[in-house]
Homo-oligomer: A and B are copies of this chain.
């Protein structure tokens, strides 16, 4: 049974910064937005920003930091993107070089941080609305799949849409659409309902990322645009330098989830 924790984001980030919390952040700080992190050199930032603009469902941009500045002034004033995530991945030339627990040794003055909405927000909203969230029930990571749908390219950033899948009882599919559509900055409404073959998914039992989950009789596979998309696309562009959060180890913002129901301004 999934029980979210109530600790305030500031408290959680403090625990993360000091090394007291090194685990995945799912279920932490109930009611607050968690975010994916992508860090790129300024030279690549325009194309990545444009990619996010052109593909808002997989890449819902919460905030972009100024070059060299690790403080996300809107999402979490006084936080530090270099220390406040439990685990990071550092890539050079598109290859994973190391996993680290802070970025103090690798940070550069030309680095731009992109915070993107993640599906934790709507998973909790679905759960609260009485829609079963199978991967939470089964204590697994969500099932994710590469599709045959291309994102809109921007410069070197190009690649397929990655989707997450949740099996939903047929009578709750409309409710699942309604609940998630309220959160456009957390991937919003699904991109596809049923018929996985149409979007190039041959076997739901063999996800490309995450874990397989049980699909019960009377349940429809429902697909949402997934935050793995921008990471996969960025990696594919083989940037000379890139940092992301480690899977499941997200940045916990100060934004109440209700903030994601409208434009942040």
Stretch among A53-61, A85-93, A125-133, A196-204 lining the B interface: A53-61
Q: Which of A49-72 contact B (CB under 8 A)?
A: 49-50, 53-57, 61, 64
Are B49 and A50 touching (Cβ within 8 A)?
yes
A265 at the interface (CB under 8 A from B): yes
Q: Say yes or no for A264: interface residue by CB 8 A criterion.
A: yes
Note all chain B residues with C-beta closer than 8 A to A189: 262
**A45 interface contact, C-beta 8 A:** yes
Q: Is A184 an interface residue (CB 8 A)?
A: yes
Contact status B49-A263, CB under 8 Å: no
CA distance in complex: A160, B233 (Å): 36
Q: Which residues of B contact A263 (CB under 8 A)?
A: 56-57, 184, 188
Write out the residue numbers on chain B whose beta carbons fall within 8 Å of the beta carbon of A46.
Answer: 45-46, 49
Instruction: Write out, one digit per residue, whether chain A residues 251-263 have a CB within 8 A of any chain B CB (1) or not (0).
Output: 0000000000011
> Chain A: how many interface residues by the 8 Å CB criterion?
20
Q: Is the interface of A mostly helix, strand, loop or mixed?
A: loop
A53/B57 in contact, CB under 8 A? no
Name the interface residues of A164-198: CB closer than 8 Å to any CB of B.
184, 188-189
> Given A45-B46, A46-B45 in contact, is the A262-B53 Cβ separation under 8 Å?
no
In the complex, what residues of B have CB within 8 A of residue A262's CB? Answer: 184, 188-189
Copies in the assembly, this chain: 2
Report the minimal beta-carbon distance from A63 to chain B, rounded to whole angstroms. 8
CB distance from A121 to the nearest CB of B (A): 16
Scoring A53, A74, A188, A189 by chain B CB atoms within 10 A of each residue's CB, the highest score goes to: A53
Chain B residues in 8 Å Cβ range of A56: 263-265
Q: Which one of B53, B152, B184, B188 lies within 8 Å of A53 (CB-CB)?
A: B53
Within the complex, what minimum Cβ distance (angstroms) separates A135 from chain B? 25
Contacts of A57 in B (CB 8 A): 263, 265
Measured CB to CB, the closest approach of chain B to A249, in angstroms, equals 25
CB distance from A230 to the nearest CB of B (A): 13
14 A-B contact pairs sorted by A residue (CB < 8 Å): A45-B46, A49-B49, A50-B64, A53-B53, A53-B64, A54-B265, A55-B265, A56-B263, A56-B265, A57-B263, A57-B265, A74-B152, A152-B265, A189-B262
